[in-house]
Every structure is written in structure tokens, then in C-alpha cells.
Amino acid sequence: MKFDPASNIQDLAQFGEFGDVNPSITDSATYTFMEAKTMVDTFHGEQEGCFLYSRHWNPSNKYLADALAAMEGTESAWVTASGMGAITSAILQLCNSGDHIVSSITTYGGTFAFLANYLKKFRIEVSFVDITKHGEVESAIRENTRLIYTETMTNPLLQISDIPALAKIARDNQVKLVVDNTFTPMIMSPAKMGADIVVNSLTKFINGKNDCVGGVICAGEDFINSLADVNTGSAMLLGPVLDPLRSSSIQKNLHTLHIRMKQHGHNAMYLANKFQEAGLRTIYPGLSNHPQHGLMKELMHPDFGFGGMIAIDLETSDKASVLMEAMQKVGVGYLAVSLGYFKTLFSNSGKSTSSEVPEDVQKEMGLSEGLIRFSVGLDHDIERSWERIAACLESLGCR
């Protein structure tokens, strides 16, 4: 049977304790035990179905984790207080001092900073490669390599990672493949293509409201249990716990994700075509001239489109700033970081979400200083939005 992430969520039967159609919110930090032995067994990981302390597990977080595992097609999941909490917990659970990581050079700025700068204190080395060049990936692997890290759709250049090919390289070299699926929930299912661990920032498309931050690690049951181990679990000991009230609101929003992703993709495809017709260098995987357009068509769930992310290149950051300010002024959207919101968001990547990446590395990866990254919103009349953008471009002499 064909894997369907939306139907998997639809099929979940998650009732509240009094038959509520929404799962109950458990705002308790600690939980009582009827017998002392049960508490002891729970501390040792030998007692299933019992809650100990909300840094360890919380019923509301478990509801959300189960729904996200269903969406990604994994055995289990663990929710965190931010996307970076998910990324860092997963990597630190896999790596020890002296280990090595192979990562896509094109990745979210916060992830790049963690890999390039923070991990040095643990003597964990990272080799950055062009993730679309599999020879580079294989050549970078060492005896002490523990994982390959990439994003399904890379930030901000929107490259598409060949997950099945990378999974084979990982398996052949006995390392784990960790994939950030933040840009493409529903659209891509990395775990079904061979990824060992899938992380998402819940802040973005999955929640869709930009009213909270959150993250998730989706993986096999053994790995998720290891994260929660009271003695060695990185999620348990570092404590990136998601507040259950936020967990509950994200869980409700998850049920409209399939509808939202379709509209994000529809609007992004329309704008991408218009940007290209206007003569601007446009990056969007839905365009036939995108280097991995064919690959994405092969790997994606076609019902949900090619995603809501677009990049255009105005060559200089000054031009980019003027255009973004003008678009905000006429109501196209907001000059803001983040993505997946119901309004269109845009930012100059090299000066914002990728600013942690040194300028020489930005040039190496092909990140222009004039690149504007768009997270296209849920506009009902996308033609009207384009007319506003077009007027702004015209005033700049870019059309």
C-alpha cells in the first residue's frame, strides 16, 4: 500500500480521558505511582505506559510525538522545545568525543554554527560537502565517521538531497543518515527512503502559525528510547522539553497540514513562474530548469506540490533590502525570518538565516549576497500578490 502521511494522521484515534475529541492537556510536571516498585521500574526503563516526570515524558507530548511518527513513517518520535533542540539532541546522542560527521555545506545557519563551531569543544570534526555530489560524500567518510547529515530541501539554496542514494552510502559505510525535513513535511518522507533519523522544526510549516517554537526527532523505537534514558539520553539530560500546552496546539494544527502544504505549493509555483518570466534568477524545485527537478518528482508525494519555498537573486544585498522593504510596505508579506507562516515571509539569507556561515563559505556554496528567500503564504488570490510584487520590481527597474 502506498505510504500516505496525511491519511496516517487522519487515522489516529487520540481521545481525551473523558472522551474529548481533542486529547487532554496534561500540565503536570510530576506523576504519582500507586506502588513504589513501579516508580523504580520506570526509572530503570522497565515499565511501559507510566509517566515519571515531564522532562522524561508527558502525555500531551506523547500524543504529538505519535502523530509525527505516523506522518514520517517511523516507529517512534520525541518532541523538543525547538528545532535546534531536536537537531543537537539527535547528533549528540550519536556522537562521542573524537568522532566525525559528514554534512551538507548548504544547511540552516544555526545548524552550520553548531556543526562548525560548537562541536569543536567535544573534538567532533565535521567535513562539509556538496550533498548533491555523492563522490564527495563518500570520499569524506572516515573510519570514525558516525553520521551523514543533510536537509531534504537545503536552506536556502533549495537543493534536493537524493535520500535513497545517501541512505545506501550510509548503510555501506555503517553510519547513520540524519535528515532535516523542515522544508518538506508531507511532501517528502525521508524515513521511507532509508533515512535513519528525521528531524523537523515544528515552528515552521507543521505548526504554521509562528506562535511557538518546537522540534521533533522521528526514528526507530530503540533510538528514541536511548534519547530518553535517565543515565545517557541527550534529550533527557539536556532537557529540551516542549511545554504541553504548546504541544497540544501544534497537534491540532497538524491535522490541517496537508491542506496548507497544497496551498503553499500552489502559490509558490505561481510566483516562481512569474519571477522567471520577469527575467530574475529563480530557484524553485518545481521549475523544470531546477537541477534536481526530476529527482524531486521521483521522490515526492505529488499531492502536496513542490513546497512553499522560493529563492530569487537580486545580486546585491542593497537591492534585496530595497525590494523587501517595498514589498512589506504594499502588503505582500513581512520582512522576517522563519517560514511556514500563513503570510508570506522574506529575508536576505546571507544577512539573516545564513549569517552564521562565513562569507567565503557562502561564496563557496553559491549563496549570492542578493539572494532573497521567500516562504510563500496561503494567499487566496496569489495573482493579486504578484501584481504587488511586480510593481515593487518595476520601481526598482528589475522588470
Q: Nearest-CA neighbor of 178 among 157, 159, 165, 194?
A: 194
Pair 316, 227 in one domain: no
Pair 132, 275 in one domain: no
Residues 129 and 138: their CA atoms lie apart, in Å, by: 10
3 state SS for 279-340: CCEEECCCCCCCCCHHHHHHHCCHHHCCCCEEEEECCCHHHHHHHHHHHHHCCCEEECCCCC
Contact (CB, 8 A) for 266 and 371: no
Pair 269, 233 in one domain: no
Point out the domain boundary residue: 202, 237, 254: 254
Distant-in-sequence, close-in-space partners of 93: CB < 8 Å, separation ≥ 6: 223, 226, 227, 233, 234, 235
Pair 240, 275 in one domain: no
What CATH number is attached to the domain comprising 388?
3.90.1150.10
Pair 204, 270 in one domain: no
Pair 81, 113 in one domain: yes
Q: pLDDT (tens digit, 0 to 9) for every residue of the chain, 399 residues total?
A: 689 999 999 998 887 777 888 888 888 999 898 888 888 888 777 657 788 888 888 999 999 999 999 999 999 999 999 999 999 999 999 999 999 999 999 999 999 999 999 999 999 999 999 999 999 999 999 999 999 999 999 999 999 999 999 999 999 999 999 999 999 999 999 999 999 999 999 999 999 999 999 999 999 999 999 999 989 999 999 999 999 999 999 999 999 999 999 999 999 999 999 999 999 999 999 999 999 999 999 999 999 999 999 999 998 999 999 999 999 999 999 999 999 999 999 999 766 666 677 788 777 877 788 999 999 999 999 999 999 999 999 988 776
Residues 64 and 247: their CA atoms lie apart, in Å, by: 6
Domain that holds residue 311: 257-396
Pair 200, 273 in one domain: no
AA identity, residue 84 = M
DSSP 2: -
Q: Return phi, psi of residue 282, to 5°.
A: -125, 135
DSSP 209: S
DSSP 11: T
Global confidence as pTM = 0.95
Cell of 72: 514520517
Count of the separate structural domains present in the chain: 2
